[in-house]
Each structure stands twice: as structure tokens, then as C-alpha cells.
Amino acid sequence: MELDEIRRAQAIFTGIARGYDGPAQVFGLFRYRSWHRALVDAVAARKPRRVLDMCTGTGALAAAIRARTGAEVVAVDVTRAMLEQARRRTDMAGVHLVHAAAQAPPFAPGSFDAVVFSYLLRYVGDVPATLGALAALVRPGGFFGSIEFGLPEHPVARAAWQVYTGVVLRAGLALLSPGWRRVGGFLGPSIRDFHTRHPVPALENEIANLGFVCHPTRRLSLGGGVLMTATRLPVS
């Protein structure tokens, strides 16, 4: 099953890797950068020396963490085409690119001061196992953080979200390319299905059970984004 999930993610993102950042920003209503800043702020407060950015995509978050903290950043993605776009960035000095899957990261336990990931868990078949694999890489006292799309809780905001993802986003992305058309068709249902199967309180419990203290989850942009952070407990 995991191999099928990996291949599905690779197929999706290989088809949209070239020129990915422009459409992602526009159809994300220019919220990506502000969401990234929120996560970067949380990472920077820990003054890490070594950070893992899993599911790095084109490397925007990894580059921002490197610029803000000066830490060594290891940026990992399962899709080679996305890593190639990251490699072409001009702000990647100090960022090491690695091709690997989140389900089996090739690093020693406890080898990072901070582990972050964004828009990852909807693409894996076994969410608890993937969280466990990534959590194991965080040293005691280290930081664990993620950004994911969310479902607005307020009825008016939820209705607007449904119109946007079900009509505007689908129609707009369909104009760009077959690959983007595919994204427009599955994105809204994918977000709804994920949060039905893995609501935020359940994810918080999963992370806590892995030996972390969860910080209050932040809902960004009226709930369109979800920022989750946690600190690994010291070894007793």
C-alpha cells in the first residue's frame, strides 16, 4: 500500500513540478508565504543547528528556515522533479537535498533539532506510522511542526471554502495543464477526507503518544491552514 501511495504522489507532483510555485501561490490565495512564516517563526525560536524539512517540494520552506536560522537544513522529497526545481533555486546554500520517502527516512534517530513537514500526511497510507518515523528523528527537547490545509469551522467560512475548492479552484487549475486539472479535482475532497479520518484532536493524541508535548494548534486564514507544533520530552 505504501508503495502505491508513494507512486501516486510522484505521479501527481511530477506533472506539476515545473513552474509549481506560481500557481500554488495564486490559487492558495497568497497564503503560503504567511503560513510558512508562522512555521519558520516557531522553528527559529528554538535556535536549531540541524533541521529536517520533509516533503520539501521546491524548497521554499527549507530556504526560508536556512535564511532565518543559519541552521544546516536537510530538505527531502519523494519526487525527483520537485527536487530538481529546488536545486535550481538561488537561495539554497546550506540546504542539502535528499531523495527519500517520509515513511522510511534514511537518518539516525534523534539526529535533528527540528523536524518539519508540510502538506504531507494526505499522501501517505499509514499516518501513525509516518508520524512515528519522523518523530523518531527529533532529539529530546527538539521541535516537531507541520502545516496542512484545514477545514474552516465557521459555517460562513466553510461555505466559502466549499465554493472555492469545488468550483473556482477546479475551474482555474483546469485551464493550466492536465496535471493541474487533476490537482483541482482531488484537492477539496482530499482535504475533507483527511480531516474526517484524522481530525486535529486525534493527530494531537498521536503526536503526544510518541513522546511529545503538543502546543496549541493554530488555525490560520479562517481555518484554511492548520499549524501544529510540539516539543519532544526529555529522556527520563
How many domains in the chain? 1
Where residue 145 sits, what CATH number does that domain have? 3.40.50.150
Q: Which amino acid is at 126?
A: D
Per-residue pLDDT reduced to its tens digit, 46-68? 999 999 999 999 999 999 999 99
Q: Do strands 50-54 and 72-77 pair parallel, antiparallel, or not at all (unpaired)?
A: parallel
Q: Which amino acid is at 194?
A: F
Per-residue pLDDT reduced to its tens digit, 77-130? 999 999 999 999 999 999 999 999 999 999 999 999 999 999 999 999 899 999
User: Structural domain of residue 209, as residue ranges?
Assistant: 2-22+29-151+200-232
Query: Is residue 158 domain-resident?
Result: no
> Which cell is 56 given?
520539501
Query: Is residue 191 domain-resident?
Result: no
**Single pTM value for the model:** 0.92
The per-residue pLDDT for 3 is: 60
The per-residue pLDDT for 1 is: 42
